[in-house]
């Protein structure tokens, strides 16, 4: 563990992630489905201070169980934040693939799905310096556990959901790096020029 990680607590990781969600995800309407769960406080922020793969897997499985046992009103969706591990984006992608395999093995395909966020997020096939990557650049490596039935219901009430990524890319390109940092100053700490 490096010295920076020693100062990370569940409280600080949650507060920074919550600020990112409220300012960027909801504030810019990057995900039109996020505002209701933020408003009704059914978005769960779970922090794993795991330092090993096994410990992080255990925390992930615990969160999966928690989501399944909770009502949708209590826990609509969960952000599992891993501030200590997976600083390398490709290590993060390996863990994401493992988590997706675990969902399949548990028979949860079609029940739960994962969305991914990371400080160095890169979309495949997009230039590394394209600002569009910032739609998925969170303060810490984060796994979003989503109830598929809830997402399906939300999609039926949203016109042209397939246009959301393109709309987001246009918005971020319009704001530019400086505009995004002005809106959410921590970006300057973890998004390279």
pLDDT band at 157 (very low <50, low <70, confident <90, very high): low
Instruction: Kindly report, residue by residue over 49-92, the tens digit of the pLDDT.
Output: 999 999 999 999 999 999 999 999 999 999 999 999 999 999 99
Which backbone phi and psi does 30 adopt, to 5 degrees?
-65, -35
Partners of 145 in beta bridges = 78, 114
Half-sphere exposure of 192 (CA within 13 A, CB side): 5
Q: What is the mean pLDDT of residues 143-149?
A: 91
Which backbone phi and psi does 114 adopt, to 5 degrees?
-115, 140
Reduced to 3 states (helix: H, G, I; strand: E, B; else coil), residue 32 is coil
CA distance 164 to 25: 12
pLDDT of residue 155: 58
Contacts of 134 (CB under 8 A, 6+ apart): 121, 172, 180, 187, 191
Pure H helices in 40-138: 53-69, 89-105
CA distance 12 to 164: 30
Could you tell me the pTM of the whole model?
A: 0.91
pLDDT of residue 46: 98
Q: What is the mean pLDDT of the chain?
A: 90
pLDDT of residue 152: 59
Tokens found for residue 114 = 């994962």
């Amino acid at each position: 563990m490096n010295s920076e990680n020693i100062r990370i607590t569940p409280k600080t990781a949650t507060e920074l992630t919550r600020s990112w969600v409220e300012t960027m995800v909801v504030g810019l309407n990057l995900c039109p489905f996020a505002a209701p769960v933020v408003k009704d406080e059914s978005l769960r922020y779970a922090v794993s201070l795991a330092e090993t793969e096994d410990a992080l897997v255990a925390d992930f499985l615990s969160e999966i169980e928690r989501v399944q046992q909770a009502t949708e009103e209590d826990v609509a969706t969960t952000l599992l934040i891993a501030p200590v591990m997976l600083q390398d984006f490709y290590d993060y992608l390996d863990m994401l693939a493992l988590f997706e395999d675990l969902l399949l093995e548990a028979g949860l395909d079609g029940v739960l799905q994962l969305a991914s966020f990371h400080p160095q997020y890169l979309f495949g096939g997009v230039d590394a310096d394209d600002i569009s990557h910032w739609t998925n650049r969170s303060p810490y490596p984060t796994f979003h556990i989503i109830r598929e039935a809830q997402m399906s219901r939300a999609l039926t009430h949203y016109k042209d959901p397939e246009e959301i990524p393109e709309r987001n890319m246009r918005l971020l390109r319009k704001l530019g790096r400086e505009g995004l940092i002005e809106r959410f100053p921590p970006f300057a700490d973890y998004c390279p020029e």
